[in-house]
Amino acid sequence: QSALTQPRSVSGSPGQSVTISCTGTSSDVGGYTYVSWYQQYPGKAPKLMIYDVIERPSGVPDRFSGSKSGNTASLTISGLQAEDEADYYCCSYAGNFNWVFGGGTKVTVL
Amino acid sequence: QVQLVQSGAEVKKPGASVKVSCKASGYTFTSNYIHWVRQAPGQGLEWMGIINPSDGSTNYAQNFQVRVTMTRDTFTSTVYMELSSLTSEDTAVYYCARAGSNHLDFWGQGTLVTVPS
């Protein structure tokens, strides 16, 4: 199972929107509505931000949103804030009780 | 509140094995699967496998199938991940995470395993 493809980095100014893509195959991202996104600060454990492509857990700001088209999922951060500077990872169910992560994207707030 | 508390950092020699524990609390232990994920220094997250605490059934990622064993103790609400034949490439932080259907909803604090080359 190959890792999902994410851009290494994206950046934006405070208040702007940034979108992170996550490209897989029809065997993972394209085959299921089970894409999730995680935020990770340096030295900390990941935190769930989006699940089932579009769902937000309680407590996650609504400026975080998810979507999917074909084999590519996306995470959009609207109204970028300084505290959003972190690493973001996508994850997809890949069938037969297997999961696969993306390589991670560093979000920089300029 | 849901908590996953992992065992402390380990330093192991090449060829040895390591066993990391993950103690769950704040929910019914047998109601949720547990994932194991690792992160090498400066690298991304890598899914290792999953265990069903209810019956002990497991599924391992292909990369780890030969070397990893996941077990559980329902009396202490603890899951374990043992990785054998360690090399320096296994130096990483190992995380356990609770499965919330098809995502990972709560994570442990991580356990650093160091294998000097």
pLDDT (average), residues A29-49: 97
Residue B116 has pLDDT above 90, yes or no: yes
Residue B76, pLDDT score: 98
Residue A2, pLDDT score: 85
Residue A1 has pLDDT above 80, yes or no: no
| 8 Å CB contact of B102 and A101 | no
Residue B7 has pLDDT above 90, yes or no: yes
Model confidence at B101, pLDDT cuts 50, 70, 90, reads: confident
pLDDT digits (tens, 9 = 90+) for B16-64: 999 999 999 999 999 999 999 999 999 999 999 999 999 999 999 999 9
Q: Decide if B107 touches A, using CB distance below 8 A.
A: yes
End-to-end CA distance of chain A: 35
Q: Are A105 and A88 in contact (CB under 8 A)?
A: yes
Residue A96, pLDDT score: 94
Residue B20, pLDDT score: 98
* SS3 call for B55: coil
DSSP state string for chain A: -PPBB--SEEEE-TT--EEEEEE--TTTGGG-S-EEEEEE-TTS--EEEEBTTTB--TTS-TTEEEEEETTEEEEEE-S--GGG-EEEEEEEE-STT-EEEB--EEEEE-
| 8 Å CB contact of B45 and A57 | no
| 8 Å CB contact of B104 and A91 | yes
pLDDT (average), residues A77-100: 97
Express as a percent the part of chain A with pLDDT over 70: 100
| Chain A positions in Cβ-Cβ contact with residue B100 (cut-off 8 Å) | 48, 51
Pick left, alpha or beta for residue B85 (phi over 0 → left; psi -120 to 50 → alpha; otherwise beta): left
